[in-house]
Structure 1
Amino acid sequence: MAEGKTGSGREGGRSLKTRVKTARKRSLSSTLWLERQLNDPYVARAKREGYRSRAAYKLIEMDDRHHLLKPGGRIIDLGAAPGGWSQIAADRVKAKDGRGRVVGVDLLDMEAIPGVTFAVKDFNDEDAPDFIKAMLGGEADGVMSDMAANATGHKQTDHLRIVALAELAAEFAMDVLAPGGFFVAKVLQGGTEGQLLTRLKRDFTTVRHVKPAASRADSAELYVLATGFRGRRDHEG
């Protein structure tokens, strides 16, 4: 694993940046990704602190600022694998103490996390909202999505694909959220998510963009955060 080679990057007061040689069977993009991983302080920190991914710190920052994950809350994590966000959610809603509930959903299997119930499931399936609410024990207080479609390398295509995923996640959220609930999803800067924002502003009291410090500075990654769900009556009307 790449993360296994990650160190503090500092020795003798001098920054030591790891460079990766391009192997014959490794593309340039793969080599650059691996080099970023090896030199990413959040990757090293996640390994030290026992988190499944560096993404955990994005949710920590968003929750510290916006107070999304409350003890006793019911949370759905879409595209949960490898589990960084589910770990944070389970800890903060006190799921391990039996107070809150966290349900992780992904097309890929995921190693068990204390306090998290997991399902290998396509959240776009017709029966998914009822199926997942049954697992959760009722409506959700929050729906989180850190999903991203596989990158094509074409900026406009990648943007459209990730916004489409966010729109699908928002549709799902409308079917499972309790009034007052929140929705957070990954998008990309680019200006074509206007339809998504318009819909969220209709169904939630507050909609904002956030970019956690743990998001790489050179990345177009951004999160849309909608709070204060108005309820299904407004959504269906």
Structure 2
Amino acid sequence: MKVKTKSKKVNKAWLNDHVTDPYVRLAQKEGFRSRAAYKLKEIDETLQLIRPGQLVVDLGAAPGAWSQYVRRKFAPKEAGAGGAATGALNGTIIALDLLEFEPIEGVQFIQGDFREAEVLAQLEAAVGGRPVDVVISDMAPNLSGIASHDAARIADLVELAIDFSQQHLRKDGALVCKVFHGSGYSQLVELFRAHFRVSKAIKPKASRDRSSETFLVGIGLKTATAGTASG
């Protein structure tokens, strides 16, 4: 009984934090599917990564807040219509996730495991040989609480995102990856430094203080195969 009472208290505390969270309220007000939109928004506003006309690949896309943010960035600015959640857009968004994804107008979605060759082939077919401008990855494994095990699973996803970026990013393109402070973090920072001319770690204000979540951003591949710098 004591365990259940404690669990109820924890759940109640989480629910209270959630409903009073200013980013949750803002997401509800502005029509985003989750508060995660404001994490990408701060990263983008800091580094100016996402612009109309680009090809963006969104890995770990569900429930869709990051794709929503990119979609609004791609909405035409003519006649004050910029930021529209529906209608025409100037750019291409390809989203991928294991989970189901409620459709977003203009976003091409692939459901599957990014670690599987068949799913990766579907993604590459959707890219169609075009150089990708930005890869955004909110992918994360289900954490077990065993530091070494979790670190290895996180590193695996980050390495796959870097491998995909090496094959498909423009020379001046960017990769945004979710990582976690703790075991293996410094090695991931070094991995970004090894592959990108510019690498930065950003913890957006929308990331909860108690969360070990942060984001690594790499800009400009040190070696690239996908295309030349965009004008």
Say whether the fold is shared (TM-score over 0.5). yes
Please, which of 8, 11, 14 is the counterpart of residue 33 of structure 1? 14
- CA change 1:48–1:233 in 2 (3 A) is closer
- CA change 1:35–1:151 in 2 (3 A) is farther
1:204 match = 196
2:163 match = 171
1:65 to partner: Cα distance: 0.9
In structure 1, what is the Cα distance between the partners aligned to 2:159 and 2:208?
23
Choose 119-128 or 28-37, whichever is displaced more.
Answer: 28-37
RMSD: 2.6
CA displacement, residues 178-198 of structure 1 (integer Å, 9 cap, x when unaligned): 221110111111252333333
Structure number with higher relative contact order (C-alpha < 8 Å, ≥ 6 residues apart): 2
Conserved? CA contact 1:129–1:175, under 8 Å: no
Tell me how many residue pairs correspond in the alignment: 213
Residue 70 in structure 1 maps to residue 44 in structure 2 = no
1:1-237 correspondence runs (5 A):
29-94=10-75, 97-137=88-128, 138-154=130-146, 157-190=149-182, 192-233=184-225
1:105 to partner: Cα distance: 0.1
Per the normalisation by structure 2, the TM-score is: 0.81
- CA change 1:127–1:180 in 2 (3 A) is farther
Which blocks of at least 5 consecutive residues in structure 2 are unaligned? 77-86, 227-231
Work out the percentage of aligned pairs sharing the same amino acid. 37
In structure 2, what is the Cα distance between the partners aligned to 1:53 and 1:156?
29
Conserved? CA contact 1:180–1:230, under 8 Å: no
Conserved? CA contact 2:166–2:225, under 8 Å: no
Residue 117 of structure 2 aligns to a residue whose secondary structure is: coil
Per the normalisation by structure 1, the TM-score is: 0.79
Matched to 1:97, the amino acid is A
1:201 to partner: Cα distance: 1.8
Conserved? CA contact 1:180–1:231, under 8 Å: no
Conserved? CA contact 1:129–1:176, under 8 Å: no
Conserved? CA contact 1:124–1:172, under 8 Å: no
In structure 2, what is the Cα distance between the partners aligned to 1:154 and 1:35?
28
Which blocks of at least 5 consecutive residues in structure 1 are unaligned? 1-21
In structure 1, what is the Cα distance between the partners aligned to 2:162 and 2:119?
14
